[in-house]
Structure 1
Amino acid sequence: MSPRSTPWGTYMQIADALRRRIADGELSPGAPVPSESALGREFGVSRTTVRRALASLEEERLIRALPGTGRVVCDPSEKAGDDSARLPQYRRIAAELREQISSGVLAPGAPLPSESAIVQRYGVSRGTARQALSELEGSGLVRSVHGRGRFVREAETPSG
């Protein structure tokens, strides 16, 4: 495949076109943004050019990427300073589980939901579920028992 020559600033034209679609309501809040490959075909440009256009819209908080899902149009009523909506999905899941652990809903020794249960509950990919659980393991809140699952760590007792 030969490299395509794209005029300088083409990504800004693509971003402008998508911005108009959002403003006109053609792409409404929560609606999925067409994939990189679909936009590349539509505008006759490489995925790199499309990514630059999408990145500029993300910086303006017009769209956001949802790991394992794709990009969606942001709701203008969302607070501009609300970074929780910008967190990757796996981090939001890990934060929710971390809160359940710290509040005692998930007591020491209690099993965490399985990857499959997280996939069903949050509507995410298995990889996203695995990443959320791995983050909790990495923080030391959870231990993994091969073949059995993941469990809330027991409180460490001081040795003496």
Structure 2
Amino acid sequence: MPQQNNPSPRGTYQKIADQIRLHIEANPQITELPTATDIMTEHNVSRGLALRAMRALRDEGIAEPVSGGRWQVIRDHAPPSRPLHEQLAEVITRDNLQAGDPFPSSTELMARFDASRPTLTKALDRLHAHGLVSAARQGKPRIVLAVPGETPAALTVGDLRRALEGLPDDTPLRTAVVVDRESGNAVTLRAANS
């Protein structure tokens, strides 16, 4: 087994972390840490030491891991990153949307949050699963079904069906079919006067 010619002295990872911290403080435009490979090459250290330096920066609150094996720099003025579905739920309250209002289009939300369509679709599906917006329908806007943090107003079966299917408010309805997600059983709901 080959041995390393010059083993790293104790505290090397901390010295590397200190150098990276000084570099981040001197350059406010830096948003990501260098990769582990870049640290290994620049400081001539093992991958383990490079990762240990990155973890030291995380422990100090300077950086956090993000998807794809990257590390993002945490700035005092930048809010911590939150899942997209939570940010989308805030759109309802921030834009003063009420139950029954159309939710912004996917195209508008992609530009607003700088997100790809597949990522946005997954986040919107989570909002639908939580009962905040209606399901996606081609050519139809999603409808706000509930405002986060508020008790939903009582809806009739017809109101619920019209909102989910995008039908005009004056369309007379007597039944709606609801599918239980756990069992897959369909239940037909009928208006009390039918």
Same fold (TM over 0.5): yes
Offset at residue 141 of structure 1 (A): 0.9
CA distance in 1: counterparts of 2:118 and 2:55, whole angstroms: 23
- Pair 1:86–1:144, CA change in 2 (3 A): same
Q: CA RMSD in A?
A: 3.9
TM-score by length of 1: 0.60
CA distance in 2: counterparts of 1:126 and 1:43, whole angstroms: 39
Name 1:146's counterpart in structure 2.
137
1:71 partner SS: strand
Name 2:17's counterpart in structure 1.
15
Name 2:125's counterpart in structure 1.
134
- Pair 1:67–1:136, CA change in 2 (3 A): farther
AA of the residue aligned to 2:56: S
2:113 to 117, 122, 126: 122
Offset at residue 66 of structure 1 (A): 6.4
CA distance in 1: counterparts of 2:65 and 2:92, whole angstroms: 23
5+ long unaligned stretches in structure 2: 147-152, 158-191
1:2-151 map, 5 Å:
11-23=13-25, 25=26, 27-28=27-28, 30-36=29-35, 37-43=37-43, 45-46=46-47, 50-64=50-64, 71-75=72-76, 78=77, 85-91=79-85, 93-100=87-94, 105-147=96-138, 148-151=140-143
CA distance in 2: counterparts of 1:62 and 1:74, whole angstroms: 7
5+ long unaligned stretches in structure 1: 79-83
- Pair 1:56–1:127, CA change in 2 (3 A): farther
AA of the residue aligned to 1:74: R
Q: Indicate the structure whose relative CO is greater, using CA pairs within 8 Å and at least 6 residues apart.
A: 1
CA contact (8 A) 1:67 1:89 kept: no
TM-score by length of 2: 0.52
Name 2:166's counterpart in structure 1.
none
1:144 partner SS: coil
CA distance in 2: counterparts of 1:35 and 1:127, whole angstroms: 28
Q: Percent identity?
A: 25
AA of the residue aligned to 1:152: V
